[in-house]
Chains A and B, each alone.
Chain A
Amino acid sequence: MSRVGIVLISHSSKIVEGIKDLIGQVIQDVPIELAGGTEENDIGTSIDIIGKAINNADQGQGVLLFYDIGSAKMNAEIAIEMAETKDIKLVEAPLVEGSYVAAVESSMRKSLQEVYDSVVKAF
């Protein structure tokens, strides 16, 4: 059965790779897609990369987005407005801890709203 997807957005590809490793130690069955850095792999964020990550993370159960600083949030909001699926939520929570909680909740086959509520409640 499909699970709620997670997209990790950061200015640095290494940050999101590290978080995915961290979560991967515990959770393997949740779609986690990375949107770190720009197309040229410079420091920054990209609407296109975030958009692709949303598509890839979506198994039909919706997608939660976690982000770091500055332009990450604005680019995430624009990517959400442009995305095909409407079941997307941007989460105001610490990137590392928030996505960790979300991954655990999602692996328990909770719904998008349930996972979202758990994360928001935790912080």
Chain B
Amino acid sequence: MELQVKDIIQWFELTNEKIQANKDYLTSLDQPIGDGDHGINMARGFKEVVNKISTQDYENVADVLKDVAMTLMSKVGGASGPIFGTAFLKLSIAVKGSDSLNFETFTKGLEEAVNGVKQRGKATEGEKTMIDVWSPVVDYLKSEKDFQGDQIRKTAKQAMENTKEIMATKGRASYFKEKSIGHIDPGAASSFYIFEALAEVIKGGN
């Protein structure tokens, strides 16, 4: 399958639904190891994303992704704004010119997204951030030939759960040092919803 403009829009609508439904949960993850605003931040940002992209006509996927990125950057408020914003901006730039996204283009684009986030946040794998979900998903995609929703969801879920055992060395959670161990990273949890939503779009399309 290829992801069309309508699929990308649906991806963010589904993500928004999940984030709104789990707003309090995401915030509760940010309480022991942060400032308890992650759910509020993401809910505010993704609501604006859906408002923006559902009222617009798009000819190609890159333009949708760019609007998603810019909206997240300016509306989220916390570190997750520039982080997720950068991810979708890099994805948008990487897929510029394609009307729809085939598996290969998408995988390459997502790899660029992870590279962009690493640069922006000066972080890498194993620091208890959303990178610890995005990077394993990219690794999984690179080992495959086509979209498989169930596997994407499974990879993201496992990766999110793995963040529990990591000690945070980036972001606000890093101030808590070893006390950050034993908690799922909030940005990893919202990243799981992003990939779970993607998995549902893929399953609907296959």
Contacts and interface: CB of A to CB of B under 8 A. Distances in A.
A69 B77 contact: no
Contacts, number: 43
Contacts of A45: 77
Nearest to B73: A47
Interface stretch (A72-80, A102-110, A112-120): A72-80
Contact of A46 (B37, B74, B120, B121): B74
Interface in A22-74: 38, 42-48, 69-71, 74
A40 to B, nearest CB: 8
Interface residues of B, number: 18
B37 A74 contact: no
Contact of A75 (B37, B41, B81): B81
A44 B82 contact: no
B126 interface: no
A46 B82 contact: no
B136 interface: no
Interface in B85-138: 85-86, 120-121
Interface of B: 35, 37, 41, 73-74, 77-83, 85-86, 120-121, 171-172
Given A70-B172, A71-B79, 7 more contacts: A43-B77, A47-B74, A69-B172, A74-B79, A74-B120, A78-B73, A78-B85
Closest 8 pairs between A and B when the two form their complex, measured CB to CB: A44-B77, A71-B79, A74-B82, A38-B77, A70-B79, A48-B74, A70-B172, A71-B78
